[in-house]
Amino acid sequence: MITTTGLKARLNIPGTSEDAWLGPLTLAAEGFVKRYLGRNHLEKPGTAISEIHNGDGDVVLVAREFPFTAGDITTLTVDGETITAKTSWDGTGFYVDHDSEGEIILDGLEFNRGRQNIEIVYKPGFGTSGSDGAALTVIAEATYQIAARLYNKKSEGAYSNFSVGEVTEAFNNLARAGELQDELALLQPFRKL
């Protein structure tokens, strides 16, 4: 999502003298943002993930990660039976409610009651165009700002070179101190609750 090269450009840092610090800083900033948002997958094409769910007899299943489209679902099975995407308004199958947060809805079928009887394999994440692209742009901007804020604290002598884990703790300290309010406000609309 963000790169060391991009962060260097924003901070106007020439050469490679700071790369040993900026690499872990970039990784830790992304990790901090993902944890804050409650999302493991931000960009498409993401890695396919597999989830097992219990059926409750309803027609709605909420996946753990989002956003995604029906086309991002490679496998949906209920009691070992494959469910396909709905292809016509009067057909059976599944569709994804684009106004919800990860809802898969069955039409003409249901998620039968059972323990661990539903499997979904899908690729969640924001795309690069349209509203998804706009979301990724805002998330990346906030992530760059968070990384830059900690880099500037280092430049002021508040921190020295340290590991990704120590950088992550420094982000947490800045957030607790209220020093990331503007950046977290940018991210708020994309939090998974």
Q: List per-residue pLDDT tens for the chain, 193 residues long.
A: 799 999 999 999 998 888 888 888 888 888 889 888 888 777 766 678 899 999 999 999 999 888 888 888 999 999 999 999 999 888 899 999 876 678 999 999 999 999 999 999 998 887 777 777 788 889 999 999 999 988 887 766 555 555 666 777 777 777 888 888 899 999 988 887 6
Please state the domain count of the chain.
2
Same domain for 22 and 56: no
Of 121, 146, 120, the closest CA to residue 46 belongs to 121
Tokens of 169: 């703790």
Token pair 């947060």 is found at: 101
Of 64, 68, 39, 27, the closest CA to residue 187 belongs to 39
**Domain assignment of residue 117, given as a range:** 49-122
Q: Report the predicted TM-score, pTM, of the whole model to 2 decimal places.
A: 0.74
Same domain for 56 and 21: no
Last residue in a domain, options 122, 149, 172: 122
